[in-house]
Amino acid sequence: MAKKEKTPNKKTNYSSYWLYGLIAVFFISMSYFNNSGVSKDQRINISTFERFLNDDEVERVLVINKSLAQVTIKDDALQTSKHKKARSTDFLGRSNPGGPHYEFEVGNLEIFQTKLEEAKSIGVEFDYDFKTVENRWLDVMLSFLPLILIIGVWIFLMRRMSGGGASGGGQIFNIGKSKAKLFDEKSNVKITFKDVAGLEGAKEEVQEIVDFLKNPKKYTVLGGKIPKGALLVGPPGTGKTLLAKAVAGEAKVPFFSLSGSDFVEMFVGVGASRVRDLFKQAKDKSPAIIFIDEIDAIGRARGKNNMTGSNDERENTLNQLLTEMDGFGTDTNVIVLAATNRSDVLDKALMRAGRFDRQIYVDLPDLREREEIFKVHLRPLKVDTKLDTSFLAKQTPGFSGADIANVCNESALIAARKNKKKVNRQDFLDAVDRIVGGLEKKNKIITPSEKKTIAFHEAGHATVSWMLEHAAPLVKVTIVPRGQSLGAAWYLPEERQIVRTEQMLDEMCATLGGRAAEQIIFGKISTGALSDLVKVTRQARAMVTVYGLNDKIGNITYYDNNGQSEFGFTKPYSEETAKQIDEEISKIVEREYKRALSLLRKHKKKLSELAEHLLEKEVIFKDDLVSIFGKRPFEKEKAAEEKDKTSPTKKAAKST
């Protein structure tokens, strides 16, 4: 028996303002109908009325409320051209032979009555009468006006209290309704999987979920079951939310999107109520997908950081989410997608199979993936035809997808600032410098002595990194202030999956080269090495306490990958061990500092030459270092190794 398709409930765009408008029109109409219907053209003054009266053309005069006189003209006089406008006195323009035909303000009632009596006395035939008319509708409106004002103010305050305009009616009685945005076939979501560059593994798994909802029989015929949920995990800016947007654009099923903070409210029980309402809506429209961005807002481990012992509203929300995802009666085709960059703090019950069956790790893009991302973001830009995307990818190691999008946008702004018609290579390099180092501050006042110190500091970094095998190769050095730094150096680090001890030590030594140069040249040190010291101390601490790269402490790590250490009040090691850790960190840093001093003393002459060159030009590049120091011997060795690695492959390819 074929399954009967559910017809989705069409949401009517109903506004309460239409009702208010209709009520207003009704009252205005009633008030209008109670008026005489005499138009402005038939309003006369009292002298005109006296002329009509003297000509014996008046049949009847009716004085209303002692102020307004309505005049009815005789039938024979009405046919004359003088009273042409008075023949149609109805407000719709219809003939009104029965009158009244004219009206005017009486003024002094006693004088007016006297004039009427005088006209009667001289033989003018007409009738006159006095009448009091009450506008009942107006009276009713005026009587209810205070109540209407009170009700209006109350509705306004209630809408404001509940964050008026929000989904669920925006009223306080609907505060427990879900705030999820619904995307379906009618929604204009233009993002597809073609717009998601790189992320091949993650994209494949997400596409499989979408395919399951589109073609469930393909999987169920083999006995497979639909996964309950998929968790997107990864650093910020790697494309987790973009993947979800692509799912919304590709899936031909209802897609509910909301943030984890949308469940949080100041009222007790609101979060759990919104979870229930969200899943109810999704079940009514199943098959459907629910996407919760930043799920760590409600999914943190329970029982932690609960100092008062009271009932936690966030825990109630999480409990309801756990029940809805995998409880009794959860047999509908509803898949939950979630994204977070703090998977370590999520509750274990949320992470188990049956709730989030799949954890999809979205990592930072590698060289090939960065090139693909550049191609996506370069589509809307007018770029130079000679622009090499592979070169751009090599210049941006460690950049996320969001960073690359920012680079492309910033390059377009820089090109527009220079009145260029196309974005070229230099614009992209300037954009990378702008994002990494900050904005140039050429007008910043720096004394000559400070400038000289900065030049030798940056030259020290460049010299030491050039002489060490595992240090990152230099790209550019500048003494022009950028952002919060007085000088900056750009390196092109090697993309490594694992880092060895000697590589970390070489990087630390190169970082300390700036302070070491100040010590050798001036015999003094300054506060300019603060960022260097922070970086070095962090690296040394990681070597000792995280990676187990210290001989004295041994192969021990104090890193807690469950994310529970932030809730603890005690260190996972003794005071004696803490003292040893501090000593070993200090030894590592001081040893690399002495090593940097030794290298710079050995190449002091070239250091001074490089610093003077930097003072002269303010910006130097890799070619300048080659002219002073010559080529790095390590680069020759690496080139030979790469050649040896590729040669067997080439031979094999030829043999086949």
Of 410, 401, 462, the closest CA to residue 432 belongs to 410
Count Cβ atoms below 10 Å from residue 576 Cβ, excluding itself: 8
Taking the C-alpha atoms of residue 172 and residue 447, their distance in angstroms, rounded to an integer, is 63
- Decide if 53 contacts 126 (C-beta within 8 A): yes
- Decide if 431 contacts 381 (C-beta within 8 A): no
Question: How many distinct helices (H) and strands (E) make up the chain?
Answer: 23, 13
- Decide if 451 contacts 444 (C-beta within 8 A): no
- Decide if 519 contacts 525 (C-beta within 8 A): yes
Strand 334-340, strand 229-233: pairing? parallel
- Decide if 507 contacts 471 (C-beta within 8 A): yes
DSSP 493-561: ----SS--HHHHHHHHHHHTHHHHHHHHHHS---GGGHHHHHHHHHHHHHHHHTS---TTT-S-----T
Side-by-side strand order, sheet with 474-478: 488-491, 474-478, 619-621
Of 609, 624, 595, the closest CA to residue 455 belongs to 609
Whether 458 sits among the annotated catalytic residues: the reply is: yes
CA–chain centroid gap for 332, Å, is: 31
Catalytic residue among 458, 507, 518, 584: 458
* DSSP state, residue 68: E
- Decide if 117 contacts 127 (C-beta within 8 A): no
Q: How far is CA 110 from CA 51, 63, 107, 117, 398, in A?
A: 19, 12, 9, 11, 98
CB-neighbour burial class of residue 246 (10 A; exposed 0-12, middle 13-18, buried 19+): buried
- Decide if 466 contacts 620 (C-beta within 8 A): no
- List Cβ neighbours of 99 (8 Å cut-off, separation of 6 or more): 59, 60, 70, 71, 72, 73, 89
Strand 288-293, strand 334-340: pairing? parallel
CA–chain centroid gap for 70, Å, is: 67
User: Does residue 170 come out as left (phi exceeding 0), alpha (psi in the -120 to 50 range) or beta?
Assistant: left
Instruction: Give the CA radius of gyration of the chain.
Output: 42
Of 431, 633, 437, the closest CA to residue 531 belongs to 437
- List Cβ neighbours of 39 (8 Å cut-off, separation of 6 or more): 89, 91
- Per this entry, what is the length of the chain? 656
* DSSP state, residue 8: P
123 phi and psi, to 5 degrees?
105, 5
Q: Which residues are known to be catalytic?
A: 458
